A = this chain, B = another copy of it.
Amino acid sequence: MVVAEAGSARPGRRAVTSADVARESGVSRATVSYVLNRKPGQTIPEETRRRVLEAARRLDYVPSASARALRKGQTGIVLLAMPNLPQGPVLSAFVHELADGLSEGGLTLVTHLDDRAHSTLLKVVQALSPVAVISYPQLPPEPSRRLFASGVRWVTGVNLSLGPRDDDHQWAVLPGRLQAEYLIGLGHQRLGFGWPEDPTLAPIAQDRLEGIQRCCAAAGCPPPEVGTVPIEPVRAVEAVATWHDRGITGICCYNDDVALAVLAGARMRHLSVPGDLAVVGVDDVPLAALANPPLTTIRQRSDEQGRALAARLLALVAGTSPPPAAPDLTMSVVIRESA
């Protein structure tokens, strides 16, 4: 454990403040603040500017985040709350782009990883005073209200959308819709849905299932039969067997992990994929292409979602009107051999 006491730069010394910079450069603290914050209208002579900047650099000056936040009445922190699930490349890209986008506007993204009660989120929020909270999956109204009461200004889900809840929901439902449309287009009439065992995923799974249900209804098929698929050989087989026995031929899986388990189950049961059972995942994780047979799945442009959400959040914080939702947040079917 590489541990050291405070201020290895100037050991034992207290932090340098804007007063130090002011003294060092022979101006007042106000001027220092003006220079460092670069107000657009402000007119500071180049010479002074240079002197202040120079002094700040020489002293290794770092403005106190707490003091600034106290004065301005708000921090520049955005908190992303999500369960600490197995993180796929999809979420990674989203986080990456979101952080970059926010950073360009002076906001800072940090993450709270937890899948337990909303009370831990509340605690973190109270310790951080973030200006906005993004939650995946979406927060129910009551916890959401408590965040506002703790001073958070904006609360949103990860799905980019315009209006209140509905648009978000449209989006959340889409993976299921695409899976079902694809399978039905292939001629499958009886669909199953591979539900994830992890209970924290339930809200997300519920949305995807709804997308499938709507599709089935629209196409005049019977509603999908839901089966929980554990990531565990023996019990995964059970789910597969049940589907097959009941004449189900197309399985929409919550995600690729579930789909891979279904594939394993089918193999153990000596069922052919896609002959006996067609399988579709969501996410297009790297392992999907490696699977036996290679997995057909839904790919999301989560990077674009991240960028777009960042842009909207920046606009909200700046008080300007948010940009319109990106027109084509593509989500597409990656066709391989499993369906």
The chain A residues found within 8 Å of chain B, CB to CB, are: 1-9, 15, 60, 62-67, 69-70, 75-77, 79, 84-89, 91-92, 95-96, 99, 103, 108-114, 120, 123-124, 126-129, 138-139, 144-145, 148-157, 159-165, 167-168, 231-233, 236, 257, 260-261, 264, 267, 285-287, 289-290, 292, 294, 312, 316
In-complex Cβ contact of A128 among B108, B113, B148, B264 (8 A): B108
Q: Are A2 and B290 in contact (CB under 8 A)?
A: no
In-complex Cβ contact of A1 among B85, B87, B156 (8 A): B156
A291 shortest CB reach to chain B, Å: 8
In-complex Cβ contact of A64 among B70, B157, B160 (8 A): B70
Total copies of this chain within the assembly: 2
Q: Are B66 and A75 in contact (CB under 8 A)?
A: yes
Which residue of chain B has its CB nearest to the CB of A86?
Answer: B87
Given contacts A7-B149, A124-B108, A161-B1, whether A113 and B95 have CB atoms under 8 Å apart is yes
Q: Are B113 and A111 in contact (CB under 8 A)?
A: yes
Given contacts A64-B129, A129-B64, A316-B3, whether A290 and B144 have CB atoms under 8 Å apart is no
Q: Are A128 and B77 in contact (CB under 8 A)?
A: yes
Given contacts A87-B87, A154-B4, whether A110 and B129 have CB atoms under 8 Å apart is no
Q: Can you list 8 contacts pairing A with B, beta carbon distance less than 8 Å?
A: A1-B160, A1-B167, A2-B168, A7-B149, A79-B110, A84-B91, A103-B120, A108-B127
Which residue of chain B has its CB nearest to the CB of A10?
Answer: B149
Q: How far is the CA of A79 from the CA of B91 in the complex (A)?
A: 20
Q: Are B65 and A9 in contact (CB under 8 A)?
A: no
A142 shortest CB reach to chain B, Å: 11
Which residue of chain B has its CB nearest to the CB of A94?
Answer: B84
Enumerate chain B residues within 8 angstroms of A84, measured Cβ to Cβ.
87, 91-92, 95-96
